[in-house]
Amino acid sequence: MPLSYSAAAAAPPCPLAARSRSLLHRPRPGPVVVRCKKIDQLRAVNGIPPYAPVSNRSLLTPVTLPIIRDANVKNDTRLRIFSGTANPSLSQEIASYLGLELGKINIKRFADGEIYVQLQESVRGCDVFLVQPTCPPANENLMELLIMIDACRRASAKNITAVIPYFGYARADRKSQGRESIAAKLVANMITEAGANRVLVCDLHSSQAMGYFDIPVDHVYGQPVILDYLASKTICSNDLVVVSPDVGGVARARAFAKKLSDAPLAIVDKRRHGHNVMNLIGDVRGKVAVMMDDMIDTAGTIAKGAELLHQEGAREVYACCTHAVFSPPAIERLSSGLFQEVIITNTIPLKEDKSFPQLTILSVANLLGETIWRVHDDCSVGHEPYSSLDID
């Protein structure tokens, strides 16, 4: 027989419902009254009115929470220097000048030639400088630099500066013939798109290449290092003459001569009429000729210029350059006895098999290190001898 309404009402009540009804009908407790004990009124003591003592610590004093840091991270600076595989010795000299240690980075190449980069320390919020010249092999070193920049960007570095002591592809800065590429502009775009915020370069082949970058560029010159070395040699200033090995380097040679006791200037003019014809503009007879250029690649131009200088009566010939590319047969030409001394800098690492007795290598580590510190400290890098040689 199915249950009727009256039978269902007689069923035992739900325990939860009964508990809810009991809570609703429970009498509420009355207010709690606390009576304060009456004390005597404050009186003056020895004529001093009563006062309430106040703590020396203000209620607004902030509470300093303990900061947990990694013991391996330096607390005194946010400056980080990392080196690629192109010129680690120069990077170490720069770090030593700044009183820092090189950052820990893992760079390796897979069997198929691909490059792997991993930072081994935190760079979050840091000012990072990546030292990597794009010297031979240019494509390998350029790709490594791009991957290093990308790794720092993805690691949340605050600023990334690509320190490029030697900027490869700088000679491809214009179209001299139809249907040519301007590779210098392409490389500048690649560095910018990779994530670099600033570029620090040394002795560009032409200053116009700075305009190819859409980010700030600090351009320093390596000639002050060579000037200091020549000043230490016992050469009479009246016997000096600065020679430009070609017409394109006249502005560079003129600025160098102005700094070198305002020495006179001579120019090697090479013209092509079926075969190369070289003429000398200026007087070098009985003089010590200092040939100045931004780089020496195969040494063909500077060697032929030295032969012409000897024919014109030069007593000694010095060859000076910032970037020693030294592609074959540069060593044979430079060590053939034409030059009293060949003075270069270490923007490009030089292998032991490319050394010869007349070679002198000067370091630009202090120059680059000082510039890096000024950039990090938001100071001007336009003071001598760090940037300008009045080259126009």
Looking at every residue in the chain, the average pLDDT score rounds to: 84
Percent share of the chain, pLDDT over 70: 77
| Tokens linked to 226 | 């060579």
Query: What is the dotted CATH code of the domain comprising 223-348?
Result: 3.40.50.2020
CA atoms within 13 A on the CB side of 390: 8
Residues 6+ apart with CB under 8 A from 222: 202, 203, 322, 345, 347, 364, 367
pLDDT of residue 65: 38
* Reported confidence tier of residue 277, pLDDT bands at 50, 70, 90: confident
pLDDT of residue 176: 85
pLDDT of residue 27: 54
| Tokens linked to 104 | 């820990």
pLDDT of residue 186: 96
Tell me the pLDDT tens digit for each residue of 45-57: 555 555 444 444 4
Portions of the chain given CATH number 3.40.50.2020 = 79-174+182-220+368-379, 223-348
pLDDT of residue 381: 84
Residues 6+ apart with CB under 8 A from 124: 155, 156, 157
* Reported confidence tier of residue 225, pLDDT bands at 50, 70, 90: very high
Could you give phi then psi for residue 117, rounded to 5 degrees? -130, 130
pLDDT of residue 4: 41
| Maximum CA extent, the chain | 138
Query: What is the dotted CATH code of the domain comprising 79-174+182-220+368-379?
Result: 3.40.50.2020
Label residue 304 exposed, middle or buried (CB < 10 Å: 0-12, 13-18, 19+).
middle
- Residue 357, pLDDT above cutoff 60: yes
Range 206-219 average pLDDT: 90
Which of the residue ranges 67-76, 111-120, 277-286, 337-346 would you say has the lowest mean pLDDT?
Answer: 67-76
Single-letter code of the amino acid located at 5: Y
- Residue 2, pLDDT above cutoff 50: no
pLDDT of residue 166: 97
- Residue 291, pLDDT above cutoff 90: yes
pTM attached to this predicted model: 0.78
